Amino acid sequence: MSTQLGLFATGSAALDAVELVAEQDFLILNLSGGKDGLRAAVKARDAAVQAGVEDRLWTVHASLGPMEWPACTVGGVRYPSVGELAAEHSRLLGVPPERHLELRRSRAGVPYDLLTFIAERGDWPWLGRARFCTGDWKTKLIYGAFSHMVREFMKAHGRPARMLNVLGLRADESPDRRKRPPLIRTTENTHRIVDEWLPTHAETTAFVKEWTDAGGWPHHWAYDSVPGAGDWAGSTRCSCSACVFSNHRDLLLAVARRPRLAALYAEVEYVRGIPFNPNTSITALIEEAARPGAPDPGVVLDDDNPDFDALLTAVRTALTRPRNASRAPEPARAPCRPSAQDATAARWPTRACSPRSPGLTAAHHLYDRRTDDHGEPTAQRLPAAAG
For residues 227 and 111, what is the distance between their CA atoms, to the nearest angstrom? 28
Closest by CA to 265, choosing from 380, 352, 377, is 352
Residue 129's pLDDT is what?
56
The H or E element containing residue 84 is: helix 82-93
Run of H or E residues at 192: strand 192-197
Report pLDDT for 385: 33
User: Mapping DSSP to helix (H, G, I), strand (E, B) and coil, where does residue 256 land?
Assistant: helix
Judge contact between 291 and 332, C-beta under 8 A. no
**Backbone phi, then psi, for 194, in 5-degree steps?**
-115, 125
Alpha-carbon span 10 to 8, nearest angstrom: 6
**What is the pTM assigned to this prediction?**
0.81
Beta strand 161-166 with 26-30 is parallel
Output the DSSP codes for 43-63.
HHHHHHHHHT-GGGEEEEEE-
**For the chain, which residues score pLDDT lower than 50?**
1-15, 127-128, 327-387
What angle do the packed helices 306-319 and 114-121 form, to 10 degrees?
10
Report domain extents, the chain: 13-197, 241-365
pLDDT recorded at residue 326: 55
| Dist. CA 9–CA 376, nearest whole Å | 50
CA-nearest of 235, 273, 272, 275 to 255 is 235
Crossing angle for the helix pair 282-289 and 248-257, to the nearest 10 degrees: 80
Report residue 320 CA to chain centroid gap: 27
User: Which pLDDT value is given to residue 135?
Assistant: 73
Q: What is the DSSP letter of 228?
A: T
> Dihedral of CA 168/174/178/181: which sign?
negative
Sign of the dihedral through C-alpha 195, 201, 205, 210: negative
Strands 100-103 and 57-62: parallel
Domain 13-197 has CATH 1.10.3470: no
CA–CA distance, 356 with 290 (Å, rounded to integer): 6
Position 382 scores a pLDDT of: 38
Under 8 Å between Cβ of 302 and 259: no
- C-alpha 279/C-alpha 5 separation (Å) is 37
AA letter at 106 = S
Q: Where are the beta strands (DSSP E) in 212-334?
A: none
